[in-house]
Structure 1
């Protein structure tokens, strides 16, 4: 499976305009982060996990020519706001895009994009085929996805395990039962927001401790805020099998 990190950043702590700090003025492309999303190419399907506000540009930047499905982790705006931009894929590929979301996320989608869900459809509206998911595993084509319940402060959200790959974003606490679903992964992706403690996300210290407990062969940190620091400097502090992800990073699992 080919995995492309479309975005590794977050709205948390990112200035609306450049503030002239070392992150804003960095010449290292790895410090230029769009909102968190990942592309999975499984062999028979092309799947995106979360379509945030930067979805359109991320897909253009990555040169994505096909899309079969979007799987959502939760309903916060930085993870769902780009759904409308599936329309070019509908038009060019002449197919609906399959959407996988739990009932709470579906409610948010219907609120934010009510025109998609009306009985009257005019030409050009996003065309979707929506699928209910819960904690039970489900398949997209030949690929099995195992939802993993994570707590984003008091909000239960989903991470996903796909074969030897586990993807988690916006975690603050992870139950023992969920950890058991993650253990044995060769590659773990998990959020590391900033250095200081945050009410609803792992900070760097917590993310490292979680990664060491899971003990995957390689862990990548994502959902990185402006406040974490320069990519090159933070990586020097990390254990050998833990790395910072960056926009455009491609790995094979």
Structure 2
């Protein structure tokens, strides 16, 4: 898919997903019935001429695979070693064992170290690849950088740059940043010059104590977008504080991710 690489959202929820098992709010109840707000933990699939690359592997990995009728997947890129982004790795490894396949995990070295401590048996089936210095995926150059994750320390975001064919062609660039808040000026630099930014926003406007928070809300994110000016933005990693049926006052170039949404990454 040289000119039609695409990104498909497998999950768009925050760390608890929607509905929350304990909650009877309007959004959670709608998620249990008509289901537009039903959100599995955040992950997305990049499809290119080099093959499929899944970004994050959360606790609903099996459900996400079943929904698409997929039996196997070979490559996963991890943003950080929090439960909602890595809890599917043991199931994936077990599937690789039964299929007699080897999976490949890509992450910065400190993330891989955490995975080794938490799941020391995974490398029986999964090969780990340190992408601290970046990696190539077909014609995409992928570069990680640390971003502030508030009370949760830090996570990694990834910038994807693809040079289109021809000497005068533009570079198509996009970034995936699901878990971040209060980015420093240095951390904002890779967000400039993007055609697409996928950004985590837990609420439209969160009123919790800022010292206890870990992800932007949409109001704060709009301030960030005014600075870095991506051509298009999709908000993901949303909690039960977001109702996709509501017409939030967002610019036309900003949309909310929903499960199964597919974006073409034009070159």
TM-score over 0.5 for the alignment?
A: yes
Q: Which runs of 5 or more structure 2 residues have no equivalent in the other structure?
A: 162-172
- The within-5 A match list for 1:82-101 is 82-86=88-92, 87-89=94-96, 91-92=98-99, 94-101=100-107
CA apart distance, 1:69:
1.3
- The within-5 A match list for 1:25-44 is 25-26=29-30, 28-44=34-50
| SS state at 2:146 partner | strand
- Cα displacement string for residues 95-147 of structure 1 (whole angstroms, at most 9, x for unaligned residues): 31111122322222123222224xxx5xxxxx11111122x221134432011
CA distance in 2, matches of 1:105, 1:64: 27
- The within-5 A match list for 1:156-195 is 156-163=154-161, 164-194=173-203, 195=205
CA contact (8 A) 2:14 2:239 kept: yes
| SS state at 1:184 partner | coil
When normalised by structure 1's length, the TM-score is 0.86
| SS state at 1:226 partner | coil
CA apart distance, 1:78:
0.9
CA contact (8 A) 2:18 2:39 kept: no
What residue in structure 2 maps to residue 248 of structure 1?
A: 260
Q: Is it true that 1:196 corresponds to 2:210 in the alignment?
A: no
CA distance in 1, matches of 2:233, 2:70: 25
CA contact (8 A) 2:107 2:129 kept: yes
CA RMSD of aligned residues (A): 2.2
CA apart distance, 1:81:
0.6
CA distance in 1, matches of 2:97, 2:142: 24
What residue in structure 2 maps to residue 124 of structure 1?
A: none
- Cα displacement string for residues 59-88 of structure 1 (whole angstroms, at most 9, x for unaligned residues): 221334552311111111111110022243
Residue number among 45, 55, 58 corresponding to 1:49 in the alignment:
55
Residue number among 227, 232, 237 corresponding to 2:249 in the alignment:
237
Q: Which runs of 5 or more structure 1 residues have no equivalent in the other structure?
A: 122-126
CA apart distance, 1:177:
2.8
| SS state at 1:58 partner | helix
